[in-house]
Chain A
Amino acid sequence: MLQPKRTKYRKMHKGRIHGEAKGGFLINFGSYALKATEPERVTARQIEAARRAITRHMKRQGRVWIRIFPDVPVSAKPVEVRMGSGKGSTDYWACKVKPGRIMFEIDGVNEETAREALRLGAMKLPVQTRIVAKEDW
């Protein structure tokens, strides 16, 4: 699963996700992509599950690009522990996704396979998505 090799600080505030994506909203590498249409935290597990679903449907042909990276540590307290005594330890890593963000790109397969692979991948994610194709504007 994806996670940073080293970080400047061990824990982070929860924060809120406001606004739309400022970058990463255009297809840069592949021909088809999965675009988020709502804000949400996407965990490393969800990214990995989506990646597996996509590559398996593509029968290991073509290529997949992951355009998001889980760089937000999410902490949790152990079970049956009373409140207080400081913030819990890092439980998992997540990525804050804003509407418009391209999350996965694929190339090297036909349109039908690409759309089905991305649909299966989208089912593993906690956000509503849209499948977009590279435009020749």
Chain B
Amino acid sequence: MARRIVDLNAEVRTGTGKGAARQARREGYVPGIIYGDGQEPQPIKVKYNYLLTKLKQGRFLQTLFNLKVEGQPDVHVVCRGVQRDVVKDLPTHVDFMRIHDDSRIELFIHVEFVNHDASPGLKRGGTLVVVRPEVELEVTASDIPDHITVDLTGKKIGDVIHINDVQLPPGVKPTIARNFVIANVAAPSGLVAEENAEAEA
């Protein structure tokens, strides 16, 4: 279930602050930073198209990367944030955190829903309202699960799926201590509108 460590290439960025960051963007790079592990932060820049390709592959924030920076030893990192342009949704800055393979980190892991056809609620036209498309879990850096699976078999309209209903991979625990909601099967807007109209009449 765990994914292999993916290589990621970056270059050293000289200078910090918005002037240097904008200069990097003008040159076709996305400015970024590597921090953590008790070392000094290292400003970097990643090629724009290269980063965008990686982002579009998905699960960028849930993957352990082997970051290769020219002239420096490789480091294992996880991406802690991708800032994006508010209107265009394109990346403007990227944050990486150094980690060891055995360190425990808190990551948002993707939730995958299966067996939509076996849910009577969805068959009747209900909508799967995903309250948490990602769940924050405490995981080991070298063993990050690809996703957690939620089985929708037998779920009717009005049913709620909690974290305790889901089988988590071994060595993984949620960071939130209560039995929180992941999703529910809601009535379609048309049905709700009809019910409201009946109630008003």
* Residues of A participating in the B interface, judged by any CB pair closer than 8 Å: 20-21, 25, 29, 35, 37, 55, 58-64, 99-100, 107-108, 130, 132, 134-137
Tell me whether B55 and A137 are in contact (CB under 8 A).
yes
Given contacts A108-B127, A137-B55, A137-B58, contact A60 B188 (CB under 8 A): yes
Instruction: Give the shortest distance, in Å, between A39 (CB) and chain B (any CB).
Output: 11
| Surface stretch bound by A, among B21-29, B38-46, B81-89, B168-176 | B81-89
Is the CB of B190 closer than 8 A to any CB of chain A?
A: yes
* Chain A residue with the shortest CB-CB distance to B85: A100
Total A-B Cβ pairs within 8 A:
56
Tell me whether A136 and B59 are in contact (CB under 8 A).
yes
In the assembled complex, which residues on chain A have CB atoms less than 8 Å from the CB atom of B55? 135, 137
In the assembled complex, which residues on chain B have CB atoms less than 8 Å from the CB atom of A21? 86
Interface size on B, residues (CB 8 A): 23
CA distance A21 to B86 in the complex (A): 7
In the assembled complex, which residues on chain B have CB atoms less than 8 Å from the CB atom of A55? 189-190, 193
* Chain A residue with the shortest CB-CB distance to B194: A60
Instruction: Give the shortest distance, in Å, between A103 (CB) and chain B (any CB).
Output: 13
CA distance A37 to B60 in the complex (A): 26
The 6 tightest CB contacts between A and B, nearest first, are: A60-B190, A100-B86, A108-B127, A136-B58, A63-B127, A100-B87
In the assembled complex, which residues on chain B have CB atoms less than 8 Å from the CB atom of A108? 126-128, 188
In the complex, which residues 118-177 of chain B have their Cβ closer than 8 Å to any Cβ of chain A?
Answer: 125-130, 133
A-B contacts besides A130-B87, A135-B55, 14 pairs, CB < 8 Å: A20-B87, A35-B87, A55-B189, A55-B193, A60-B189, A61-B125, A61-B188, A61-B190, A62-B188, A100-B86, A108-B126, A132-B89, A135-B89, A137-B59
